[in-house]
A and B are shown apart, each in its own frame.
Chain A
């Protein structure tokens, strides 16, 4: 299924993910669609029309990621693609990446010499300078559960930043079980190696997250997920808040990793654990401040650095009353 997605890089025949959800579909070529919506509302347009519409919009506004439901195939579209050739290219690409991986493994961690990695005190992890940088992110909103928020991601002015914008709507979906709604998020894709092997970031020598953003005054939540093989841990994340100012000036937000609090399945837990930095999988920004209306967030880059003045290891305590298990 993943191979089908990769091959058809401009047109799609069938795009169904095994389960709806954002971070579970890393194989989607996100030039066009951003999430898997296999069971939801009626599609916006037939894919043929959608692609031509996208092309015109793309010409006008540059690279543009939209949320479109692509469940129904158009009978007029006949994509010309050579299956065998595409598969061979894919396999060759993976072997090339494997060879690079082996060479990088020999050189040192992350493909650089060890002393360079150890002496590093600041690192830019994500920056937005071209459309390939946007491909590393997934945007999602409560449309997946039937809500009415919209979110889009595009390159900002003169390709120096990314603009996340849209409309938040806290109108609950009429499905009889959701009482609340209204969220938009931008989540980084999990880094993969050759043969789509899951990778992670090792930020253990850094202690602060550094973001250069320009917002509209809304409070955002920064979420970090750890790399895990256990399925129950996929709901766990560490979060903190980022308050944006609405001004025309860029804002430098520094969040120490010790401030991140632990939550499981969206609920902050009584038992708090420190964010361990040696296996970071993804970072995300969520807006869910219950205020309907348009929003935007411009991001220049996201980095990590070592703040020598920050010596706190973990900002929260566990209490014996709430968690006697931790104090036995």
Chain B
């Protein structure tokens, strides 16, 4: 893509999220979300293959619907509160509509159907932006309206997301779809705790972004998009197999890796609020997620898949792709668990 256009699109993307996070006027926040959607559509269509076009169309339709619902909720809130300030909502209808609109934007169940389809149709780096940066704006709005969100609706959607994220990712061989289902499940964990302790949502989001960034960067090194290609990594970059395994297990929430921290905090917070069944069920359904991460780790690092002879020479050559921040990201996504007291105090 022309570098000027690239810079313009990326800066619009960054600016739009900043607008949503820092604005205190509902209309301005809505405009930020629209700019966000408009900016990422051309990025998704950098190579206008039919698949990318379909993915962009699906993304546009779902996000536009969500924006329309959001605007409806804002106007109902305006009717009942006569002010545009972003704070808790003054009407239960507005609250429910806004929650649903933001759930569509985030890809929470039962509005999750677009996430695997769109993620599968776009290149790996764009998928990374879709699953990390695009979550910031809707979560920031959810954080600000968290006192007025309907508990039952939110908990239902969150638990359904964790369940569907785990179940749907089970027999996928396409890695981008696996990451999409992982995103759905993680969004479920984040939104469960939103009404009890929104700071933990932010912590979970931060750790999720670090882990997803690590995973996508590892995948982009070899341009692997299927499990079979990932299982051939031992030929080309053996050290990557170890890191892939550690990152996957961290995403599954295994101690002593970083990914255990948000799950631990969330379960602790829920039990403090005398909710026992929900964290139990969440912990059990998180095992589904762990199962398919383990399967990927097994085929990548723990077994040496058969391959043709000419592939074994590649480890001798230096990798040509830039490993932007990869070592830092790997350390952050695997070794942050001892710093839990610091995060706990900070948040």
Residues of A within 8 A of B (CB): 105-110, 114-115, 117-119, 202, 204-205, 226, 228-230, 233, 236, 262, 271, 273-274, 276, 278, 308, 325-326, 328
Contacts and interface: CB of A to CB of B under 8 A. Distances in A.
Contact of B308 (A108, A228, A308): A308
A114 B2 contact: no
B167 interface: yes
Given A117-B173, A118-B299, A278-B174, A226 B49 contact: no
A327 to B, nearest CB: 10
Contact of B1 (A204, A229, A328): A328
A208 B170 CA distance: 27
Nearest to A112: B171
B58 A229 contact: yes
16 contacts: A105-B170, A107-B171, A108-B171, A114-B171, A114-B173, A117-B173, A118-B227, A118-B231, A119-B305, A204-B228, A226-B50, A229-B117, A233-B50, A233-B54, A262-B50, A308-B308
A305 to B, nearest CB: 14
A115 B226 CA distance: 13
Interface string B134-160: 000000000000000000000000000
B256 interface: no
B173 A202 contact: yes
B294 to A, nearest CB: 11
Given A108-B171, A114-B299, A233-B50, 13 more contacts: A109-B173, A114-B173, A118-B227, A118-B299, A202-B174, A204-B174, A205-B228, A226-B50, A226-B51, A274-B49, A276-B49, A308-B308, A328-B2
Contacts of B308: 308
B49 A118 contact: no
Nearest to A277: B226
Nearest to B176: A278
Given A205-B226, A328-B1, A273 B50 contact: yes
A205 B175 CA distance: 13
B49 A109 contact: no
A230 B50 CA distance: 10
Contacts of B49: 273-274, 276
B69 to A, nearest CB: 21
A119 B306 CA distance: 8
Nearest to B117: A229
B50 A118 contact: no
Nearest to B292: A114
Nearest to B231: A118
A229 B121 CA distance: 13
A204 B54 contact: no
A146 to B, nearest CB: 31
B120 interface: yes
Contacts, number: 65
Nearest to A238: B50
B314 interface: no
Contacts of B305: 118-119
B228 A326 contact: no
Contacts of A115: 299
Nearest to A111: B171
Interface in B117-131: 117, 120
B48 interface: yes
Nearest to B2: A328
B325 to A, nearest CB: 28
A119 B299 CA distance: 11
B81 interface: no
A117 to B, nearest CB: 7
B231 A236 contact: no
A114 B227 contact: yes
Contacts of B58: 229-230
Closest 5 CB pairs of A and B: A109-B171, A273-B49, A205-B228, A230-B54, A308-B308
Contacts of B231: 118
Contacts of B174: 202, 204, 278
B288 to A, nearest CB: 10
B172 interface: yes
Contacts of A236: 50
- Most chain A CB within 10 A, of B51, B299, B305, is at B51
B47 interface: yes
A325 B45 CA distance: 11
B276 to A, nearest CB: 27
A108 B169 CA distance: 10
Contacts of B54: 228-230, 233
A274 B308 CA distance: 24
A121 B299 CA distance: 17
Nearest to A278: B174
A278 B48 CA distance: 18
B88 interface: no
B171 A105 contact: yes
